Amino acid sequence: MQSNAEQNKYIARATAFRDTYYKRYEFSEWVLDPKLWSTYAWQDTVVLYHKEDSLEDVQTLVTRREPCNIGLDRLYDETRLEQHFGYRQGAYKEGSPNFAILCTATVSCGNTNTRIPFNVKVINLIGCAHDDAEQPDYKHYDSLEKVRTFYKRMWQLAFAAAVRSGCKKMRVFNVGGGAFAGAPFIEDFERQVFKVAFDPLMAEHAATIKIVGYNGLEFQPAFIPHVLFYPNEDVENTLYVNAWDPWSLVGNGNAGDRSLDGAWGACSNMGVLCWPVTNPHIQYCAV
């Protein structure tokens, strides 16, 4: 539990960071509400990374995040970011280690008068960015085998998160299969990459984790936050997947970003939960 002075300090940091975004891309203002801030599940946030990778490198990547980066278009004020936080651009570079962040997100939908916040467990997975030839991933992961290895390791982090969370179900989305699937050597991302990486892990964990949203053949369409209100949706026992970006704070362009990450950002507090500058309780776990 944060003291009032500590809470005000971290809210001030979050406010300063929010003010660096270009308008319409910032996370929701309700996230900064002091009454809600004191209820957030700060200590549930865990960075999962591979034990072969450098913890120091991972910590740098988790901390030095950009507000919004969509296809290498930096939709924020770099000068203001530097003035407040000491850097202009994120730490991501060619060959950076991949990691994931597990958290208990506070989700809030609707207008101010009808909004009732509730908790959802989310694993934020960083896909392999092939959406622009200048992306570090585009240069580094330059073959089908390298991309397959990337996604096998990424989904390993997701299943590790499901085990750690205690959830019996995981609702998956085709992470990397949208804008990021632009590599010229990939004709069918779902068949050539996703199934190769995911299906063996799904079989390995079949006895303990039920996969929702993918039946082994195809994905069932679902949208955030709408799926959270589906009849019979077992929210309390489900780990939800978010497709994150290698550069940005979780949520990236939020309401101005037509992606899964943007949808999660627009309805949740994950930006401040998953950033050490506003959440000093973040833990790190090698898998």
Residue among 35, 9, 5 at smallest CA distance from 277? 9
Say what percent of the chain tops pLDDT 90: 94
pLDDT digits (tens, 9 = 90+) for 164-185: 999 999 999 999 999 999 999 9
What integer best gives the mean pLDDT of the chain?
96
Task: Give the pLDDT of residue 3.
Answer: 82
Cis omega (within 30 of 0) for bond into 200: no
pTM metric for this prediction: 0.96
pLDDT tens per residue, range 143-163: 999 999 999 999 999 999 999
Instruction: Read off the pLDDT band of 215 (50, 70, 90).
Output: very high
Domain boundaries, the chain: 4-286
Q: List Cβ neighbours of 119 (8 Å cut-off, separation of 6 or more).
A: 41, 104, 105, 106, 107
Longest distance between any two alpha carbons in the chain, whole Å: 54
Structure confidence at residue 5 (pLDDT): 87
Over range 200-209, report the average pLDDT.
98
